[in-house]
Structure 1
Amino acid sequence: MEKLKAFIKKYYEGFAYLFFGGLATLLNLVLFAVFQAVLGTDFATGIGNVLDNIICILFAYWTNRTFVFRSKNSGQAALAEFGQFVACRIGTMVMDQVIIWLGVSVLAPHVAFAAANADLWAMGVKLFSQVIVIVSNYVFSKLFIFKKK
């Protein structure tokens, strides 16, 4: 039992990031799917993708600050932390948007499966994009935003 506790303590940050990152990703994919079902793929891959990213940025900041990296910053330091978090996440939101644009608007017309299954293809591109975004967000959070002092 002690070995398990030590293992969890040693890797808590990684486990917590995977768990809460998974929740943020799930939220992102669910919002994308809802926008796609209600307002169409064009909306979901454009304005809807930006909206779901904004919602997920706020959710991810709260969970990363509170549960993953356990930041104790307050006042100006907390404001700077939030600014850095949002700036990095806007960067990965742009990356997400570019990947979706390339996959849905540029690549899809040249792939037979994509043309026949546009909604499914768009969701697959979104899922692929989220893998790239999750890894990038962790690196930014660990190295630049919630770094231990």
Structure 2
Amino acid sequence: MRSIKSLYFKYKEIINYLIVGVLTTVVSLGVYYICTVTFLNPKNAFQLQVANIISWICAVIFAYFTNRKYVFESKNPNILKEASAFFLSRVGTLLMDMGVMFIGVTTIGGNDKIVKLISQVVVTIGNYVFSKLFVFKKGQSE
């Protein structure tokens, strides 16, 4: 029977990614909710997307540093190149997020808070795949 410790080390990257993903989602949702409760109207399509983009920027900054250190344990000395690849990969999932929000809220008329939460699940999966395949590739630490 495997111990919890050995299971953790076997799946450490995925477990840490899920933890960081939850924290990143908290940052994203928190910033989004603050924007829409204080100064942006989610019923206005433009303001909805502004709130979405502000929350995305805050979440991506948080996610880059936490993924680099705790998930992928990157030692890549070219931080600028790595960060650029990270931010560019996140643009793809931002477009997915904006699409889900547009369809779910603007087109269908769903609750923006619930649609945002659903969108975060899709974005989290996409972010892991992009990070693993394109940003924090093993062997780039030299």
* TM-score, normalisation: structure 2: 0.89
Q: State the Cα distance separating 1:44 from its structure 2 match.
A: 5.5
Rg bigger for which structure? 1
Q: State the Cα distance separating 1:57 from its structure 2 match.
A: 0.5
List structure 1 segments (4+ residues) > 3 angstroms apart after TM superposition.
none
Distance in 2, matches of 1:14 and 1:46, equals 30
Percent identical among aligned pairs is 39
Corresponding position of 2:134? 144
Q: Contact 2:32–2:54 (CA<8 Å) still a contact in 1?
A: no
Q: Contact 2:100–2:119 (CA<8 Å) still a contact in 1?
A: yes
Distance in 2, matches of 1:136 and 1:101, equals 18
Corresponding position of 1:46? 49
Q: Contact 1:99–1:125 (CA<8 Å) still a contact in 2?
A: yes
Q: State the Cα distance separating 1:4 from its structure 2 match.
A: 2.2
Corresponding position of 1:117? none
* TM-score, normalisation: structure 1: 0.85
Corresponding position of 2:95? 94
Structure (1/2) with the larger helix percentage: 1
What are structure 1's unaligned runs of at least 5 residues?
A: 109-113, 115-120
| Pairwise CA RMSD | 1.6
Q: Contact 2:64–2:83 (CA<8 Å) still a contact in 1?
A: yes
What are structure 2's unaligned runs of at least 5 residues?
A: none
